[in-house]
Chain A
Amino acid sequence: MLEKAFVGDKKYWAWVISLMAVIGVATLFYLRQYSEGLGVTGLGRDVTWGFYIAQFTFLVGVAASAVMVVLPYYLHDYKAFAKITILGEFLAISAVTMCMTFIFVDMGQPFRIVNVFLYPSPTSMMFWDTVSLSGYMVLNIIISHVTLGAEKQGMAPPKWIKPVIILSIPWAVSIHTVTAFLYAGLGARPFWMTAILAPRFLASAFAAGPALLILFCLILRKVTKFDAGREPVQTLAKIVTYAMAVNVFFVLMEVFTAVYSGIPEHLEHFKFMFLGLEGSSMMAPWMWVSSILAVVSLILLLNPKARRNESWLVMACIAVFLSLWIDKGMALIVTGFVPSVLGAVPTYVPTVTELMISLGIYALGLLMVTVLYKIALSVRGQWETKRIIESQRSPVKAGS
């Protein structure tokens, strides 16, 4: 099926080559980081995890969100998602690849990463996150390969794949739960020590992921012959609406607990995030933008008229995605370190090297999405032609 990725028009190749160029430049930046050490990033003694780990966290959510198309389609036999389920699964595969790459570039000794498998440490949540992410990757590769393969043959997928698909549903929940456990079990970091972290991660994932999928569907409709159809996009929009509403609710619960209890070690982080702490207010403007975008997106999504209008829906989806990206891809990780365990207020700003490497990893993800979607749509095209030929044949048969 991979051969489908190597045939395309000029536009396709121009897009693929520009993504490769970005990846190439980012690789040069990574080589610099590799030879000089992580000192070339904005990270330091106090803010030990930053942009890379935040992108990893955000993208685990995007990966997990595939379950929002897989579950209705396979568990509830929701036929409208038939066309887009594979898009969700391919998005998941690309997102997990990005996650793993972000972890790789964050390692001080990246080539020792095999030690995680050589010396498995079940007390470490990082060990479980590795297990859960690689398992999810394998599940999605198997499922998408088998179902798309069957589709190519014009046959129903084999029966044994059904339990694998069912397994992928709780597995998707597990990847984001375990990712939340990376943070939520640390006495040293009160900001993350909240039982609602995993539920909040899932809610924001199920909003940001499907929002992205809607955008992808609409882009595909513009640039290819593929049309996801109105119904699946509208159903996804409802999923985004519920998930975003739940996410905002969870965030408000966090704010209430911190503010009303007034316990400094909880409150200070929220102060830093929204108001600034000891003159360090770098996060505040971002968080206000994120909050405003969240409110705007909810106003649009909760209003059926706006939601049903695809131009407004696009705005709402962009707002959801950006709002949650700021919240998870910027604020959530860094704020855990401010104030530090010693009560200091460190500053952290990602360097150009860090941003370029991250951009390269996003380009890698987009390249994977492009190639995988190309394969899926090409297979689809073939299948539809076949069906047309068959439908043309059958009346002849009936007549004879």
Chain B
Amino acid sequence: MGIDRRKFFKVSGLTALGLAGGSVSKVFSRETPYGDSVQTRTWGTEPPKGPLTAQRWAMVIDLRKCHEQPDCNDCVAACHSTHNVPDWGNPKDEVKWIWKESFEHAFHDQEHPYQQESLKYLPALVLCNHCDNPPCVRVCPTGATWKRDKDGIVMMDWHRCIGCRYCVVACPYGSRSFNWRDPRPKIQKIEPDFPTRSRGVVEKCTFCEERLARGMLPACVEACKYGAMHFGDLEDADSNVRKLLSERYTIRRKPGLGTNPEVYYIV
């Protein structure tokens, strides 16, 4: 699949080059492989870097840094625009991959009435935990969602999903969204590099596996200006995430359920 994807990007890159026509020079003038504009994404025949790989991807979110920037919504905006997530504007049809949830809701079993004000009222970022023992994968009747062996990412196949929503029911974190209606009219600006979904399928955060394959960090991590989000290999003892986990006190959501979430929080 990785090879197919890369081939696809090669072809699409070439096509874009052809279409760009006069602005070829502009295409080559990009300085960074990261970014959102079409020019910076068309890297011609060769991807700028090899894919980012790990044995076990994990994320550490520093909620204290988030709390210093209560108005910041960069990671959510970056993720949702990168992945063509529709904006329904109502909680019933809502589709979201990463969002702010109150501490009380995100850490249902760990709050108490006399908690620090910052925790009580300021939201925590929540997303798919890419559990080591994911209940959603266990219950899927078609294998449309599965845990990738090579790096532990919980993947989604939107073409195989039958829309039974058993995974939504089984996920203890509310991380999965179902497309109750056709999402396309509600996507603010369609990002051509990423597929849109049809109605009737489930979707969720995939730790930006499509970006990792192109050597880029997840969109949310990249968008965070305040160093609140850290992404790395849990199996690598020298990785950024392992360093943070060994130095800071971290918590996970609903650890008692045995799902082994791979998103950790510094509070």
Contacts and interface: CB of A to CB of B under 8 A. Distances in A.
B93 A39 contact: yes
B61 interface: no
A186 B139 contact: yes
Given A36-B181, A115-B142, A119-B160, A186 B135 contact: yes
A48 interface: yes
Contacts of B174: 45-46, 340-342
A187 B178 contact: no
Nearest to A118: B142
A159 interface: no
A309 interface: no
Interface string B174-195: 1001111110000000000000
B152 interface: no
A130 B105 contact: no
A186 B170 contact: yes
B142 A121 contact: yes
A340 B108 CA distance: 11
Interface string B64-93: 000000000000000000000000000111
Contacts of A39: 92-93, 180-181, 199
A119 B105 contact: no
A116 B104 CA distance: 38
B234 interface: no
A280 interface: no
Interface string B136-147: 011111111000
Majority secondary structure, A binding face: loop
A48 B168 CA distance: 7
Given A123-B138, A341-B172, A109 B201 contact: yes
B35 interface: no
Contacts of B91: 44-46, 346
Given A43-B180, A44-B91, A343-B105, A188 B170 contact: yes
Contacts of A121: 140-143
Majority secondary structure, B binding face: loop
A124 B182 contact: no
A44 B177 CA distance: 9
A107 interface: yes
B235 to A, nearest CB: 25
Contacts of B38: none
Residue from A39, A113, A118, A265 with most neighbouring chain B CB atoms (10 Å): A39
For the side of the interface on B, what is the size category?
A: 35 or more
B178 A109 contact: no
Contacts of B182: 37
Contacts of A110: 162-163
B141 A108 contact: no
Interface string B145-175: 0000000000000001111111011111110
A124 B171 contact: no
A115 B258 contact: no
Given A121-B142, A340-B174, A341-B171, A108 B101 contact: no
A106 interface: yes
A286 interface: no
Interface of A: 36-39, 43-46, 48-49, 103, 106-110, 112-113, 115-116, 118-119, 121, 123-127, 130, 182, 186-189, 265, 336, 340-344, 346
Given A38-B200, A44-B91, A188-B173, 18 more contacts: A39-B181, A44-B93, A45-B178, A107-B162, A108-B178, A108-B199, A108-B200, A112-B142, A115-B160, A121-B142, A123-B137, A124-B139, A124-B140, A182-B166, A341-B108, A341-B173, A342-B174, A343-B105
- The 10 tightest CB contacts between A and B, nearest first, are A108-B163, A108-B200, A44-B92, A39-B180, A188-B172, A39-B181, A37-B199, A126-B141, A187-B257, A115-B142
